[in-house]
Amino acid sequence: MDRVPLERKVLSENDRIAAGLRARFQDHGVLCLNIISSPGSGKTSLLERTLESLPKHDRVAVLTGDIQTENDADRLKRFHFPVKQITTGGTCHLDARMIERHLEDWKLEDLDLLFIENVGNLVCPSSYDLGEAAKVVVLSVTEGEDKPLKYPSIFFKSDLMVLNKIDLLPYVPFDMTAAAENARKVHPGMEIVKTSCLTGNGLHEWMMWLEERRRAHKAVVEAVG
Amino acid sequence: MHEMGIANSVLEAVRTEMGLHPGMYPCKVGVRLGEMEAIDPEALRFCFEAMIQETDLASLELGIEVCPRRHRCQVCEREFIVRDYDCSCPQCSSLATLCISGNQLELAYLEVEEYGSSTVGAKSTQ
Protein backbone atom coordinates (compact mmCIF):
# COMPACT_ATOMS: atom_id res chain seq x y z
CA MET A 1 0.00 0.00 0.00
CA ASP A 2 1.33 3.44 -0.95
CA ARG A 3 0.13 6.69 0.49
CA VAL A 4 0.28 9.57 -2.01
CA PRO A 5 0.13 13.07 -0.51
CA LEU A 6 -2.47 15.22 -2.32
CA GLU A 7 -2.27 18.45 -0.30
CA ARG A 8 -4.64 20.57 -2.30
CA LYS A 9 -8.03 22.11 -1.79
CA VAL A 10 -11.09 19.96 -2.42
CA LEU A 11 -12.63 22.82 -4.40
CA SER A 12 -9.41 23.60 -6.25
CA GLU A 13 -11.24 23.71 -9.61
CA ASN A 14 -13.75 26.25 -8.26
CA ASP A 15 -10.91 28.20 -6.66
CA ARG A 16 -8.93 28.20 -9.92
CA ILE A 17 -11.88 29.74 -11.79
CA ALA A 18 -12.52 32.19 -8.93
CA ALA A 19 -8.88 33.31 -9.01
CA GLY A 20 -9.26 33.96 -12.75
CA LEU A 21 -12.39 36.01 -12.11
CA ARG A 22 -10.68 37.97 -9.33
CA ALA A 23 -7.78 38.82 -11.65
CA ARG A 24 -10.21 39.98 -14.35
CA PHE A 25 -12.17 42.12 -11.85
CA GLN A 26 -8.87 43.60 -10.69
CA ASP A 27 -7.70 44.29 -14.26
CA HIS A 28 -10.92 46.11 -15.08
CA GLY A 29 -11.27 47.88 -11.76
CA VAL A 30 -14.53 46.12 -10.88
CA LEU A 31 -15.45 45.84 -7.19
CA CYS A 32 -17.34 42.57 -6.80
CA LEU A 33 -19.44 41.94 -3.68
CA ASN A 34 -20.99 38.55 -2.84
CA ILE A 35 -24.19 39.04 -0.80
CA ILE A 36 -25.29 36.10 1.31
CA SER A 37 -28.16 35.47 3.75
CA SER A 38 -30.94 33.07 4.69
CA PRO A 39 -33.93 33.09 2.34
CA GLY A 40 -36.08 36.14 3.05
CA SER A 41 -33.59 38.27 5.00
CA GLY A 42 -33.81 41.07 2.45
CA LYS A 43 -30.93 40.69 -0.03
CA THR A 44 -33.11 41.67 -2.99
CA SER A 45 -34.75 44.52 -1.06
CA LEU A 46 -31.34 45.86 -0.08
CA LEU A 47 -30.26 45.75 -3.71
CA GLU A 48 -33.49 47.44 -4.83
CA ARG A 49 -32.90 50.31 -2.42
CA THR A 50 -29.24 50.47 -3.43
CA LEU A 51 -29.90 50.58 -7.18
CA GLU A 52 -32.65 53.11 -6.59
CA SER A 53 -30.26 55.52 -4.90
CA LEU A 54 -27.29 55.16 -7.27
CA PRO A 55 -26.88 57.70 -10.07
CA LYS A 56 -28.42 56.49 -13.35
CA HIS A 57 -25.06 56.68 -15.15
CA ASP A 58 -23.31 54.54 -12.51
CA ARG A 59 -21.50 51.51 -13.95
CA VAL A 60 -23.22 48.87 -11.82
CA ALA A 61 -24.54 45.38 -12.60
CA VAL A 62 -26.17 42.54 -10.67
CA LEU A 63 -26.08 38.77 -10.97
CA THR A 64 -28.83 37.28 -8.85
CA GLY A 65 -29.04 33.60 -7.96
CA ASP A 66 -32.01 31.44 -7.08
CA ILE A 67 -32.94 27.81 -7.41
CA GLN A 68 -35.94 28.66 -9.61
CA THR A 69 -37.76 31.68 -11.15
CA GLU A 70 -36.67 34.98 -12.70
CA ASN A 71 -38.57 36.94 -10.02
CA ASP A 72 -35.57 38.66 -8.43
CA ALA A 73 -34.12 39.76 -11.77
CA ASP A 74 -37.54 41.15 -12.72
CA ARG A 75 -37.60 43.17 -9.49
CA LEU A 76 -34.09 44.51 -10.02
CA LYS A 77 -34.40 45.28 -13.75
CA ARG A 78 -36.77 48.16 -12.96
CA PHE A 79 -33.76 50.33 -12.16
CA HIS A 80 -32.29 50.01 -15.69
CA PHE A 81 -28.92 48.63 -14.67
CA PRO A 82 -27.76 45.36 -16.28
CA VAL A 83 -29.24 42.46 -14.29
CA LYS A 84 -29.02 38.76 -15.01
CA GLN A 85 -30.73 35.90 -13.20
CA ILE A 86 -28.79 32.71 -12.49
CA THR A 87 -31.19 29.83 -11.88
CA THR A 88 -29.27 26.94 -10.40
CA GLY A 89 -32.03 24.37 -10.94
CA GLY A 90 -31.59 22.87 -7.48
CA THR A 91 -28.05 23.70 -6.43
CA CYS A 92 -28.06 25.50 -3.07
CA HIS A 93 -25.24 27.96 -3.84
CA LEU A 94 -23.55 29.77 -6.72
CA ASP A 95 -20.15 28.55 -7.86
CA ALA A 96 -17.40 30.33 -9.78
CA ARG A 97 -18.20 28.56 -13.05
CA MET A 98 -21.79 29.90 -12.99
CA ILE A 99 -20.44 33.44 -12.52
CA GLU A 100 -17.93 33.01 -15.34
CA ARG A 101 -20.62 31.72 -17.70
CA HIS A 102 -23.09 34.50 -16.89
CA LEU A 103 -20.47 37.21 -17.35
CA GLU A 104 -19.62 36.02 -20.87
CA ASP A 105 -21.62 38.64 -22.75
CA TRP A 106 -20.95 41.54 -20.38
CA LYS A 107 -17.96 43.77 -20.91
CA LEU A 108 -16.16 44.15 -17.58
CA GLU A 109 -14.54 47.35 -18.83
CA ASP A 110 -18.01 48.92 -18.75
CA LEU A 111 -18.45 48.14 -15.02
CA ASP A 112 -17.16 49.53 -11.73
CA LEU A 113 -19.34 47.55 -9.33
CA LEU A 114 -20.81 44.06 -9.56
CA PHE A 115 -23.22 42.70 -6.98
CA ILE A 116 -23.70 38.96 -6.77
CA GLU A 117 -26.83 38.04 -4.85
CA ASN A 118 -26.24 34.45 -3.77
CA VAL A 119 -28.89 31.75 -3.31
CA GLY A 120 -30.68 32.21 0.04
CA ASN A 121 -28.68 29.93 2.32
CA LEU A 122 -26.34 30.65 5.23
CA VAL A 123 -24.30 27.47 4.90
CA CYS A 124 -23.25 26.33 1.44
CA PRO A 125 -22.39 29.66 -0.25
CA SER A 126 -19.67 30.21 2.34
CA SER A 127 -17.52 27.43 0.85
CA TYR A 128 -17.55 28.72 -2.73
CA ASP A 129 -15.24 31.56 -3.68
CA LEU A 130 -16.75 33.57 -6.55
CA GLY A 131 -13.78 35.87 -7.06
CA GLU A 132 -15.42 38.60 -4.99
CA ALA A 133 -13.51 41.34 -3.17
CA ALA A 134 -15.72 40.85 -0.11
CA LYS A 135 -18.65 38.87 1.19
CA VAL A 136 -21.52 40.72 2.84
CA VAL A 137 -23.88 38.80 5.13
CA VAL A 138 -27.44 40.02 5.69
CA LEU A 139 -29.20 39.02 8.91
CA SER A 140 -32.76 40.12 9.64
CA VAL A 141 -34.10 40.79 13.12
CA THR A 142 -36.79 38.11 12.75
CA GLU A 143 -34.12 35.41 12.65
CA GLY A 144 -32.67 35.41 16.16
CA GLU A 145 -29.54 37.01 17.52
CA ASP A 146 -27.70 33.69 17.84
CA LYS A 147 -27.46 33.12 14.07
CA PRO A 148 -23.77 34.09 13.98
CA LEU A 149 -23.03 31.36 16.54
CA LYS A 150 -25.18 28.77 14.76
CA TYR A 151 -23.70 29.49 11.31
CA PRO A 152 -20.23 30.82 12.14
CA SER A 153 -18.59 30.11 8.80
CA ILE A 154 -20.35 32.84 6.81
CA PHE A 155 -20.01 35.43 9.59
CA PHE A 156 -16.33 34.54 9.90
CA LYS A 157 -15.78 35.11 6.18
CA SER A 158 -17.88 38.25 5.64
CA ASP A 159 -16.45 41.76 5.91
CA LEU A 160 -19.79 43.35 6.75
CA MET A 161 -22.99 42.28 8.48
CA VAL A 162 -26.13 44.13 7.44
CA LEU A 163 -28.70 43.84 10.26
CA ASN A 164 -31.88 44.29 8.29
CA LYS A 165 -35.59 44.85 9.01
CA ILE A 166 -34.89 47.04 12.06
CA ASP A 167 -38.36 48.57 11.56
CA LEU A 168 -39.69 45.31 13.08
CA LEU A 169 -37.70 45.71 16.32
CA PRO A 170 -40.73 46.90 18.35
CA TYR A 171 -42.57 43.67 17.48
CA VAL A 172 -39.90 40.98 17.84
CA PRO A 173 -37.74 39.91 20.80
CA PHE A 174 -34.43 40.59 19.07
CA ASP A 175 -31.42 41.77 21.07
CA MET A 176 -29.33 44.00 18.77
CA THR A 177 -26.43 44.21 21.21
CA ALA A 178 -26.26 40.44 21.56
CA ALA A 179 -26.43 39.99 17.77
CA ALA A 180 -23.48 42.36 17.31
CA GLU A 181 -21.55 40.68 20.14
CA ASN A 182 -22.18 37.25 18.67
CA ALA A 183 -21.03 38.37 15.22
CA ARG A 184 -17.87 39.88 16.68
CA LYS A 185 -17.23 36.78 18.78
CA VAL A 186 -17.02 34.78 15.57
CA HIS A 187 -15.31 37.57 13.63
CA PRO A 188 -13.57 40.12 15.85
CA GLY A 189 -13.75 43.63 14.42
CA MET A 190 -16.53 42.80 11.95
CA GLU A 191 -18.25 45.88 10.54
CA ILE A 192 -22.00 46.14 11.10
CA VAL A 193 -24.70 48.41 9.64
CA LYS A 194 -28.34 48.41 10.74
CA THR A 195 -30.94 48.95 8.05
CA SER A 196 -34.61 48.94 7.21
CA CYS A 197 -35.28 48.60 3.51
CA LEU A 198 -38.90 49.48 4.22
CA THR A 199 -38.41 52.83 5.99
CA GLY A 200 -34.95 53.59 4.62
CA ASN A 201 -33.48 53.85 8.10
CA GLY A 202 -29.74 53.11 8.18
CA LEU A 203 -29.44 52.85 4.39
CA HIS A 204 -27.21 55.90 4.46
CA GLU A 205 -24.65 53.95 6.54
CA TRP A 206 -24.78 51.06 4.09
CA MET A 207 -24.27 53.40 1.14
CA MET A 208 -21.37 55.06 2.99
CA TRP A 209 -19.76 51.64 3.54
CA LEU A 210 -20.25 50.85 -0.15
CA GLU A 211 -18.81 54.19 -1.23
CA GLU A 212 -15.79 53.70 1.01
CA ARG A 213 -15.15 50.20 -0.39
CA ARG A 214 -15.45 51.53 -3.92
CA ARG A 215 -13.01 54.34 -3.17
CA ALA A 216 -10.51 51.98 -1.51
CA HIS A 217 -10.81 49.47 -4.36
CA LYS A 218 -10.23 52.17 -6.96
CA ALA A 219 -7.15 53.39 -5.10
CA VAL A 220 -5.69 49.86 -5.05
CA VAL A 221 -6.45 49.28 -8.74
CA GLU A 222 -4.84 52.60 -9.69
CA ALA A 223 -1.78 51.90 -7.55
CA VAL A 224 -1.31 48.48 -9.19
CA GLY A 225 -2.17 49.58 -12.74
CA MET B 1 -26.60 20.52 1.68
CA HIS B 2 -23.55 21.04 -0.49
CA GLU B 3 -21.88 17.85 0.77
CA MET B 4 -22.90 16.15 -2.49
CA GLY B 5 -20.89 18.72 -4.46
CA ILE B 6 -17.95 18.30 -2.11
CA ALA B 7 -18.11 14.49 -2.42
CA ASN B 8 -18.20 14.84 -6.20
CA SER B 9 -15.12 17.09 -6.15
CA VAL B 10 -13.28 14.56 -3.98
CA LEU B 11 -14.11 11.74 -6.42
CA GLU B 12 -13.06 13.84 -9.43
CA ALA B 13 -9.73 14.50 -7.72
CA VAL B 14 -9.29 10.77 -7.02
CA ARG B 15 -9.94 9.90 -10.68
CA THR B 16 -7.50 12.58 -11.86
CA GLU B 17 -4.83 11.38 -9.43
CA MET B 18 -5.32 7.73 -10.44
CA GLY B 19 -4.38 8.67 -14.00
CA LEU B 20 -0.85 9.15 -12.61
CA HIS B 21 -0.72 5.66 -11.07
CA PRO B 22 -1.27 3.05 -13.79
CA GLY B 23 -1.70 -0.50 -12.52
CA MET B 24 -2.89 0.72 -9.13
CA TYR B 25 -6.33 1.18 -7.62
CA PRO B 26 -7.37 3.61 -4.86
CA CYS B 27 -8.20 2.21 -1.39
CA LYS B 28 -8.72 5.29 0.72
CA VAL B 29 -8.84 9.04 0.26
CA GLY B 30 -8.20 11.39 3.18
CA VAL B 31 -9.73 14.85 3.56
CA ARG B 32 -9.30 17.57 6.17
CA LEU B 33 -12.39 19.54 7.19
CA GLY B 34 -11.97 22.75 9.14
CA GLU B 35 -14.69 23.19 11.76
CA MET B 36 -15.39 26.69 10.35
CA GLU B 37 -16.19 25.25 6.92
CA ALA B 38 -19.76 24.22 7.73
CA ILE B 39 -19.37 20.74 6.26
CA ASP B 40 -21.08 17.97 8.18
CA PRO B 41 -18.73 14.94 8.22
CA GLU B 42 -21.56 12.41 8.42
CA ALA B 43 -23.48 14.04 5.56
CA LEU B 44 -20.29 14.05 3.50
CA ARG B 45 -19.74 10.35 4.23
CA PHE B 46 -23.36 9.55 3.31
CA CYS B 47 -23.05 11.42 -0.02
CA PHE B 48 -19.67 9.88 -0.76
CA GLU B 49 -20.96 6.34 -0.18
CA ALA B 50 -24.08 7.00 -2.24
CA MET B 51 -21.97 8.26 -5.14
CA ILE B 52 -19.50 5.36 -5.27
CA GLN B 53 -22.14 2.59 -5.07
CA GLU B 54 -22.00 0.25 -8.05
CA THR B 55 -19.10 2.14 -9.61
CA ASP B 56 -15.47 1.14 -10.09
CA LEU B 57 -14.72 3.07 -6.89
CA ALA B 58 -17.24 1.13 -4.77
CA SER B 59 -14.54 -0.09 -2.37
CA LEU B 60 -12.99 3.36 -1.84
CA GLU B 61 -12.85 4.41 1.79
CA LEU B 62 -13.15 8.01 2.98
CA GLY B 63 -10.96 9.24 5.84
CA ILE B 64 -12.09 12.48 7.48
CA GLU B 65 -9.97 14.55 9.84
CA VAL B 66 -11.88 17.41 11.49
CA CYS B 67 -9.54 20.33 12.22
CA PRO B 68 -10.37 22.65 15.11
CA ARG B 69 -10.08 26.43 14.76
CA ARG B 70 -6.53 27.46 15.72
CA HIS B 71 -5.24 30.99 16.09
CA ARG B 72 -1.75 32.44 16.49
CA CYS B 73 -1.18 35.46 18.68
CA GLN B 74 0.50 38.28 16.78
CA VAL B 75 1.96 39.67 20.01
CA CYS B 76 3.47 36.64 21.80
CA GLU B 77 3.22 34.06 18.95
CA ARG B 78 1.36 31.56 21.13
CA GLU B 79 -0.78 29.12 19.10
CA PHE B 80 -4.05 27.96 20.63
CA ILE B 81 -7.33 26.23 19.89
CA VAL B 82 -10.30 28.61 19.87
CA ARG B 83 -13.08 27.40 22.15
CA ASP B 84 -16.51 28.99 22.40
CA TYR B 85 -15.42 31.62 19.84
CA ASP B 86 -13.01 33.18 22.31
CA CYS B 87 -10.23 34.42 20.01
CA SER B 88 -8.19 36.19 22.69
CA CYS B 89 -4.73 34.84 23.45
CA PRO B 90 -4.75 32.60 26.57
CA GLN B 91 -1.17 33.69 27.34
CA CYS B 92 -1.16 37.48 26.95
CA SER B 93 -4.91 38.22 26.45
CA SER B 94 -4.23 40.06 23.19
CA LEU B 95 -7.11 40.20 20.72
CA ALA B 96 -4.65 40.50 17.82
CA THR B 97 -4.76 36.85 16.82
CA LEU B 98 -4.94 35.31 13.36
CA CYS B 99 -6.70 32.17 12.22
CA ILE B 100 -4.11 29.61 11.07
CA SER B 101 -6.30 26.50 10.86
CA GLY B 102 -9.92 25.43 10.99
CA ASN B 103 -11.03 26.93 7.68
CA GLN B 104 -9.58 24.27 5.40
CA LEU B 105 -11.34 21.95 3.01
CA GLU B 106 -8.43 19.93 1.72
CA LEU B 107 -7.50 16.67 0.10
CA ALA B 108 -4.79 15.20 2.33
CA TYR B 109 -3.74 11.87 0.81
CA LEU B 110 -4.70 8.93 -1.35
CA GLU B 111 -3.82 5.33 -0.51
CA VAL B 112 -3.24 3.18 -3.58
CA GLU B 113 -2.63 -0.53 -4.02
CA GLU B 114 -1.36 -2.57 -6.94
CA TYR B 115 -3.91 -4.57 -8.87
CA GLY B 116 -3.55 -8.28 -8.19
CA SER B 117 -2.62 -7.86 -4.54
CA SER B 118 -4.71 -9.83 -2.04
CA THR B 119 -6.91 -6.93 -0.96
CA VAL B 120 -8.37 -6.12 -4.40
CA GLY B 121 -12.02 -5.17 -4.10
CA ALA B 122 -11.99 -5.51 -0.32
CA LYS B 123 -12.62 -2.57 2.00
CA SER B 124 -9.49 -1.26 3.62
CA THR B 125 -9.57 -2.03 7.30
CA GLN B 126 -7.86 1.22 8.30
Instruction: Answer whether A6 sits within 8 Å of B104, measured CB to CB.
Output: no
Of A3, A124, A186, the CB nearest to B111: A3
Instruction: Answer whether A6 sits within 8 Å of B13, measured CB to CB.
Output: yes
Q: How confident is the model at residue B118 (pLDDT cuts 50, 70, 90)?
A: low
Name the residue of chain B whose CA is nearest to A151's CA: B38
Name the residue of chain B whose CA is nearest to A123's CA: B38
* Domains and their CATH numbers in chain B: 3-68+101-114 (3.30.2320.50)
Q: How confident is the model at residue A225 (pLDDT cuts 50, 70, 90)?
A: confident
Q: What is the DSSP string of A99-168?
A: HHHHTTTS-GGG-SEEEEE--S-SSGGGG---S-SEEEEEEETTS-TTHHHHSHHHHHH-SEEEEE-GGG
Q: How confident is the model at residue B123 (pLDDT cuts 50, 70, 90)?
A: very low
Helix (H) or strand (E) holding B34: strand B24-34
On whether any CB of chain A is under 8 Å from the CB of B112, the answer is: yes
Cβ neighbours of B121 (radius 10 Å): 7
Tell me which of A77 and B36 has the higher pLDDT: A77
B3-14 per-position pLDDT tens digit? 988 999 999 999
Q: Are A107 and A28 in contact (CB under 8 A)?
A: no
Of A4, A13, A95, the CB nearest to B109: A4
Q: Report the C-alpha gap between A164 and B2 in whole angstroms.
A: 26
Closest Cα in chain B, distance from residue A218 (Å) = 27
A9 interaction partners in chain B (CB closer than 8 Å): 104-107
Mean pLDDT along residues B30-39: 91
Instruction: Answer whether A3 sits within 8 Å of B109, measured CB to CB.
Output: yes
A177-214 per-position pLDDT tens digit? 999 999 998 898 899 999 999 999 999 999 999 999 99
pTM of the model: 0.87
Its ipTM equals 0.79
pLDDT exceeds 60 at position A26: yes
Name the class of domain A16-213. alpha beta
Q: How confident is the model at residue B126 (pLDDT cuts 50, 70, 90)?
A: very low
